[in-house]
């Protein structure tokens, strides 16, 4: 099954739009079929878990730390104006875990991992390395795409937890510098009344972000044509499209979570 998704040029912008989604559908089906049938590429999966997870950790931790401070500063100012300073811990916890943590993690990983995967696979495509894999009777959808997408799906929730933890820590720290508050008290107040439904679905929805990032990066990378320019285009498109679809998906996911986990 040749790794090619754009054999004939689609007519016009609308044609290209539908051609892109059609090709993405075919690609997704091939990856799914490859992913669920043996042999499983465990070694490559572990390598990708490290690539997506461990190597993104410092970046998401820093982003989380910065977001924690920003929310802390903004929330303290806003809550003070309405005389609701006691709500600060809960505001910080809910803002970080329900909204900012997942989306910031998604966007940071989309930038780092999406661009990396898109460029790596595109480079392999234009230098015929993917063809060489296929010619060696190895399914490139299984070896290259399924492992990367699965790594993104598994790692995004864990990275989100790291982002959340860093954000809460720096948010509390920024608050403590102005108005001392024990960490124990901060956590107790922040998570008061919190339930499984109010926090965990928001974290685990990032698996869908992972699916989007991995799928689009692999798809854009493996359909690349045209040398160095094609590689650059694949990297850029991977980041832009993954970030865009991630934000659009968030709209649907938030609504779904509100309905499914009231």
Partner 1 sequence: MATTYEIPTKQQKHKQEGRAPVVAAENLFKTFGSHKVLNGISLQVSRGETLAVLGRSGTGKSVLLRLIIGLETPDSGLIRINGVDIAELTLDQMGEIRKKMGFLFQHAALYDSLTVSDNVAFPLEHHRRDMSRSERCDRVKQLLTEVGMEGDLGKMPSDISGGMQKRVGLARALALEPEILLLDEPTAGLDPISSGEINELILKLQRERQMASIVVTHDMHSARTIADRLALLNEGNVLIEGTFEYLQQSDLEFVQEFLNK
For binding to partner 1 (CB under 8 A), which residues are involved?
1-2, 4, 7-9, 39, 123-124, 127-129, 131-132, 134-139
Which one, 40 or 256, has the nearer CB to partner 1?
A: 40
Which one, 120 or 250, has the nearer CB to partner 1?
A: 120
Question: Least separation, in Å, of the C-beta of 82 and partner 1?
Answer: 55
The closest alpha carbon to 166, from 60, 54, 53, belongs to: 60
Question: Least separation, in Å, of the C-beta of 137 and partner 1?
Answer: 4
Residue 109 near residue 245, CB atoms below 8 Å: no
Residue found by looking up tokens 């937890």 in the block:
161
Which one, 135 or 260, has the nearer CB to partner 1?
A: 135
Question: Least separation, in Å, of the C-beta of 13 and partner 1?
Answer: 19
The burial of 224, by beta-carbon neighbours within 10 Å (0-12 exposed, 13-18 middle, 19 or more buried), is given as: buried
CA distance 220 to 101: 27
Which one, 76 or 142, has the nearer CB to partner 1?
A: 142
Question: Least separation, in Å, of the C-beta of 240 and partner 1?
Answer: 25
Question: Least separation, in Å, of the C-beta of 223 and partner 1?
Answer: 15
b/e sequence 40-65, b meaning 16+ C-beta within 10 Å: ebeebbeebbebbbeebbebbbebbb
Residues in CB range of 30: below 8 A, 6 or more apart: 1, 141
Which one, 136 or 195, has the nearer CB to partner 1?
A: 136
């Amino acid at each position: 099954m040749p790794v090619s998704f754009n054999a004939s040029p689609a007519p016009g912008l609308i044609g290209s739009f539908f051609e892109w989604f059609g090709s993405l559908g075919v690609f997704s089906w091939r990856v799914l079929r490859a992913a669920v049938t043996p042999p499983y590429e465990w070694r490559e999966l572990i390598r990708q878990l490290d690539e997506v997870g461990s190597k993104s950790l410092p970046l998401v931790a820093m982003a989380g730390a910065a977001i924690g401070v920003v929310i802390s500063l903004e929330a303290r100012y806003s809550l003070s104006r309405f005389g609701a300073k006691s709500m600060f811990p809960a505001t910080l916890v809910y803002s970080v875990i329900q909204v900012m943590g997942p989306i910031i993690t998604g966007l940071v990983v989309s930038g780092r991992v999406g661009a990396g995967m898109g460029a790596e696979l595109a480079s392999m495509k234009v230098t015929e390395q993917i063809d060489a894999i296929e010619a060696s009777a190895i399914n490139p959808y299984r070896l290259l795409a399924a492992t990367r997408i699965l790594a993104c799906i598994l790692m995004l929730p864990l990275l989100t937890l790291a982002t959340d933890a860093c954000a809460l820590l720096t948010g509390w720290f920024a608050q403590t510098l102005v108005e001392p508050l024990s960490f124990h008290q901060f956590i107790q107040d922040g998570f008061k009344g919190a339930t499984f439904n109010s926090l965990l679905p928001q974290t685990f929805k990032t698996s869908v972000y992972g699916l989007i990032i991995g799928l689009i990066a692999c798809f854009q990378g493996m359909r690349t044509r045209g040398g160095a320019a094609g590689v650059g285009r694949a990297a850029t498109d991977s980041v832009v499209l993954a970030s865009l679809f991630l934000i659009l998906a968030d709209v649907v996911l938030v609504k779904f979570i509100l309905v499914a986990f009231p």
